[in-house]
Amino acid sequence: MQRQRTIDLNADLGEGFGPYRIGDDLALLDIVTSANVACGFHAGEPAIMFATFQAAKARGVAIGAHPGFEDRAHFGRRPLPLSPHEIEQIVAYQVGAACGMAALAGHRITYVKVHGALSNIASVEEPVARAIAKAIRAVDPSLVCLSLAGTAGERGARAEGLISAAEVFADRAYNPDGTLVARGLPGAVLDDAATIAARVLAMLEQGGVIATDGTFVPLSMDSICVHGDTPHAVGIVARLRQALAEAGHQLAAFAPVTP
């Protein structure tokens, strides 16, 4: 018996800058149900945000603000020495900017997912997770906070009274404690479309992930995070979507625009 019939696929999008692009945003927008859009700090900029929001709107894809550290040169992947209070401010700024830009593009931000090093920190430091949640709540308390399942990110969002949604990764191996196997380690990143599809189906059926040591780790799963930075990656996601549909799962945004 399947535990879940409706699921969301989310991906990071709009991560270009000026003349640069990462991945094929339009191809991904045809597959995913939620788009996490960079807000001009770690990547993205007004023009790309606008175009991405418009394209998402045209495809009925939900949009989330995807704030990060202000560090284009390292794509927001390095931890910067900011206090929780400063993090609160950069999140409020970026979420506000995304809401403004979405309005201009005729769409609406319905959730927030933090990026890169900021996400890594929020996953383990609850004061940071709460700072992020406070900023989101101040800008718009109806925004859903999308966090890595089972982490401080989830707890922080709930502690601040936000609606929290949990994501798991389609293509990453998990440790027995529910954290991700570090990227450098062997087997940390899955790369085979069939394996990934089968794994995600199993995760949905069982309501958790199988860790590297065989342990079952129960995790809530409102969304599955996918990546699309290479043509190969887009193919994996397309295959996953097809497998989900064939298995009877309905693909739908976890935070849809409501009237």
For its own copies, the binding residues (CB under 8 A) are 16-22, 40, 43, 45-47, 49-50, 70, 72-75, 78-81, 86, 88-90, 92-101, 103-104, 134-135, 138-139
- Cα–Cα distance between 8 and 255 in angstroms, integer? 9
Question: Closest CB to its own copies among 30 and 45?
Answer: 45
Nearest distance from C-beta of residue 95 to its own copies, angstroms: 5
Q: Which amino acid is at 43?
A: A
Smallest gap from Cβ 200 to its own copies, in A, equals 26
User: Which amino acid is residue 118, in one-letter code?
Assistant: L
Judged on CB neighbours under 10 Å (0-12, 13-18, 19+), 93 is middle
Residue 154 beta carbon to its own copies: minimum distance, rounded to whole angstroms: 22
Minimum CB separation of residue 231 from its own copies in Å reads 13
Amino acid at 257: V
According to DSSP H, which parts of the chain are helical? 25-29, 46-59, 84-104, 116-124, 126-139, 152-159, 193-206, 231-246
Cβ neighbours for 178, distance < 8 A, ≥ 6 positions apart: 149, 150, 151, 209, 211, 217, 219
Place of tokens 């769409």: 107
| Smallest separation, CB 134 to its own copies (Å) | 8
In angstroms, what CA-CA distances link 217 with 17, 137, 144, 150?
38, 30, 24, 10
